[in-house]
Amino acid sequence: MARAITTKQKAINTAVIWTLGLVMFFPIFWLIILSFKTESDAIMAPMEVLMSGWTMESYDAVNRRSDYFKFFSNSVIIALGSTFLGLLIAVPAAWAMAFVPGKRTKDILLWMLSTKMLPPVGVLIPIYLLFRDTGLLDTRIGLVFVLMMINLPIIVWMLYTYFKEIPAEILEAARMDGASLGKEVLYVLTPMALPGIASTMLLNIILAWNEAFWTLNLTAAKAAPLTAFIASYSSPEGLFYAKLSAASVMAIAPILVMGWFSQKQLVRGLTFGAVK
Amino acid sequence: MATQHSRASARLMISPSVLLLLGWMLIPLCMTVYFSFLRYDLLSPGTEAFTGWDNYYYFLTDPSFNDAITNTLSLLVGVLLVTIIGGIGFALLLNLPAWGQGIVRVLVIAPFFVMPTVSGLLWKNMFMNPVNGVFAHITLAFGGQPYDFLGQAPWESIILMVSWQWLPFATLILLTALQSLDQEQLEAAEMDGASWGSRFWHIVLPHISRAITVVILIQTIFLLSIFAEILVTTNGGPGTASTNLTYLIYVQSLLQYDVGVGSAGGVIAIILANIVAIFLMRMVGKNLDK
């Protein structure tokens, strides 16, 4: 058992870690504050900003932009589409590698990981040209495919580490009781694997939502998601801090919430199971 | 034991992933290598011709290449130093008994979930802007002269932004590793009179060393490809002061339409990443055996 800690020591620790937390979070906090200010208040000194009145007008302004919803729905479609498509392909693969490991399973897994090492810029030109020639440039289906491919190794790996933790004896028992492969997957494996699949899904939605290399380079007007919408504020006209803040808050809020729920899975997913 | 039947179906289940990834990797890779030996300008199609090593020569002797490679490596080293040292510090502190640990943890990891374009514009406008930024307001309040971060020290500013995004990642991984440390071992060492320093050096650090390696290697993969932060803040400038390898290749190929030289750059980026990758594969491979 850990030793008793004096209340004073604990109070000091608390003060220190809260300071750290607040400093790290401050930029996001400030973004949220500015999003509820008028444009002219948003560029004032920090104290004056805090004292000034509150308003929702920036959110209204961003929502009124006829195209905001388009960017948002593109983000949703691309993030969800690439994740579900990835799961569809990865679940069988991870299942097979976890429960019917062959001689080369380990090599295949490592090779899949190695594809993640390919720097995106190394294949940017061919992908761009292939997309241009096949009409996939600036389409959601094209981006769904690209993001599915770049996250596929992570999905397979993450599912694999979860599936490996399911005791194989249970599957054998089901098999001995005469369950077919389909039934085995549906009634035995799926319920046990569901938590792992859910966290894999969550992590990949986060990664796809925030992906900003392919989404910026392969889209123009039609299929651009929120990453590109926010990037359009990099060449602003007039006062735009409050509107940029409101747009940013709306772009990051859903993922922030998801991210907080998936802290633990994030560790496992992004370290390919090396740290749990 | 796996039967013949299940082996066959296993192969069938794995093959879609393998074939897709194989295509995704090999087709563009071969095209990049092929293009890198061509004179290929998107603006004058149909004039492609074999040029041997010219594109590589041009790319490697271009003055911006020096900036790009220096920046790529300095960002890598800078961000790794900040995130590893900071991450160990944060993880040690967050592991201490305190009130509200859960909430603080949530606050600390939040920057990791902010999309790169938001984080770039947030720092550029709300904090580093020499007129309206928070830093400028604070400097003025203390009677100082506001500093033009992105004009005077563009690369350092980008290193700061990227560190802010990745420090949470390092903290989270190292904290997870730290929490699996056996407390009794630490207490025993303390009772035997080991100082805080030697406990950290001989017990804590070896315990989290693998996590540190993982953090270094995974961050390296992402840090070599930093792109959006540059695009929305400095566009690689002033001049090429904040251009990295990824951004330089983007400029060469998609802005100047020189596919040949851009592809030669791409091949060089791939070689650089592979040197890093070899180490990562070894380590994760070892982990698989356990």
Q: Do residue A255 and residue A202 come from a single domain? A: yes
Q: Do A119 and B273 touch (CB under 8 A)?
A: yes
Grade residue A66 by pLDDT with cuts at 50, 70 and 90. Answer: low
Q: Do residue A125 and residue A18 come from a single domain? A: no
What is the model's pLDDT at position B290? 47
Q: Do B110 and A128 touch (CB under 8 A)?
A: no
**Cα within 13 Å of Cα(A16), Cβ side:** 16
Answer yes or no: is A2 within a domain.
Answer: no
pTM (two decimals):
0.89
Q: Do B14 and A96 touch (CB under 8 A)?
A: yes
In whole angstroms, give the CA distance from residue B122 to residue B150: 13
Answer yes or no: is A249 within a domain.
Answer: yes
- Chain A partners of B9 at a C-beta cutoff of 8 Å? 96, 100, 181
Q: Do residue A144 and residue A232 come from a single domain? A: yes
Q: Do A234 and B29 touch (CB under 8 A)?
A: no
Lowest-confidence pick of A45-49, A151-155, B72-76, B135-139:
A45-49
Q: Return the CATH number at A222.
A: 1.10.3720.10
Does B17 reach chain A within 8 Å, measured CB to CB? yes
Name the closest residue on chain A to residue B9, using Cα atoms.
Answer: A96
Name the closest residue on chain B to residue A94, using Cα atoms.
Answer: B14
What is the model's pLDDT at position A1? 42
Q: Do residue A80 and residue A180 come from a single domain? A: yes
Q: Do B224 and A100 touch (CB under 8 A)?
A: no
The nearest CA of chain A is from the CA of B113 a distance in Å of: 6
Among A22, A40, A60, residue at a domain's last position = A60
User: How many whole angstroms from its chain centre is CA A162?
Assistant: 19
The percent of residues in chain A predicted with pLDDT above 70, rounded, is: 96
Q: Do residue A247 and residue A201 come from a single domain? A: yes
- Chain A partners of B118 at a C-beta cutoff of 8 Å? 31, 230, 248, 251-252
Helix (H) or strand (E) holding B240: none
Does B98 reach chain A within 8 Å, measured CB to CB? yes
Give the orientation angle of helix A105-115 with respect to helix A140-164, to 10 degrees.
140
Q: Do residue A40 and residue A80 come from a single domain? A: no
Q: Do residue A47 and residue A126 come from a single domain? A: no
Q: Do residue A138 and residue A107 come from a single domain? A: yes
Answer yes or no: is A27 within a domain.
Answer: yes
- Chain B partners of A16 at a C-beta cutoff of 8 Å? 93, 98
Residues 46-75 of B with CB under 8 A from A: none
Lowest-confidence pick of A124-138, A166-180, B9-23, B58-72:
A166-180
Name the closest residue on chain B to residue A207, using Cα atoms.
Answer: B113
What is the model's pLDDT at position B1? 47
Q: Do residue A141 and residue A241 come from a single domain? A: yes
Mean pLDDT (chain A, rounded): 86
- Chain B partners of A96 at a C-beta cutoff of 8 Å? 9-11, 13-14
Q: Do B112 and A259 touch (CB under 8 A)?
A: yes
Q: Do residue A40 and residue A70 come from a single domain? A: no
The 3-class SS string of B101-135 reads HHHHHHHHHHHHHCCHHHHHHHHHHHHCCCCCCHH
Q: List phi, psi (to 5°) of A6.
A: -70, 150
Which of B93, B126, B259 has its CB closest to that of A20?
A: B93
What is the model's pLDDT at position B170? 94
Mutation site for A-interface testing, chosen from B5, B72, B115 by largest number of A Cβ within 10 Å:
B115
Answer yes or no: is A85 within a domain.
Answer: yes
Which of B109, B116, B141 has its CB closest to that of A212?
A: B116
| DSSP class per residue in chain A | -PPP--HHHHHHHHHHHHHHHHHHHHHHHHHHHHHTS-HHHHTS-HHHHHHS----HHHHHHHHSTTHHHHHHHHHHHHHHHHHHHHHHHHHHHHHHHHS--TTHHHHHHHHHHHTTS-GGGSHHHHHHHHHHHT-TT-HHHHHHHHHHHHHHHHHHHHHHHHHTS-HHHHHHHHHTT--HHHIIIIIIHHHHHHHHHHHHHHHHHHHHH--SHHHHS-SSSS--HHHHHHGGGS--S--HHHHHHHHHHHHHHHHHHHHHTHHHHHHHHTTTS--
Task: Could you please state the CATH topology (level 3) that the domain comprising B56-288 is classified under.
Answer: MetI-like fold (1.10.3720)
Grade residue A48 by pLDDT with cuts at 50, 70 and 90. Answer: confident
Domain span including residue A263: 65-270
Which of B27, B35, B99 has its CB closest to that of A14?
A: B99
B114-140 mean pLDDT = 91
- Chain B partners of A93 at a C-beta cutoff of 8 Å? 13-14, 16-18
The two three-digit tokens of residue A120, written as one number: 């995106």
Q: What is the pLDDT of residues B80-103, one digit of tens each?
A: 999 999 999 999 999 988 898 889
Answer yes or no: is A276 within a domain.
Answer: no
Q: Do B118 and A248 touch (CB under 8 A)?
A: yes
Q: What is the pLDDT of residues A122-169, one digit of tens each?
A: 888 899 999 999 999 999 999 999 999 999 998 998 889 888 888 878
The percent of residues in chain B predicted with pLDDT above 70, rounded, is: 95
In whole angstroms, give the CA distance from residue A93 to residue A152: 11
In whole angstroms, give the CA distance from residue A11 to residue A6: 9
Q: Do residue A182 and residue A138 come from a single domain? A: yes
What is the model's pLDDT at position B286? 67
Domain spans of chain B, in order of start? 56-288
Number of domains in chain A: 2
Answer yes or no: is A161 within a domain.
Answer: yes
B17-34 mean pLDDT = 91
Q: What is the pLDDT of residues B220-273, one digit of tens each?
A: 888 988 999 999 998 887 888 889 999 999 998 888 888 889 999 999 999 988
Q: Do residue A31 and residue A85 come from a single domain? A: no
Does B237 reach chain A within 8 Å, measured CB to CB? no
**Residue pairs between chains A and B whose CB atoms are closer than 8 Å:** 313
Q: Do B35 and A125 touch (CB under 8 A)?
A: yes
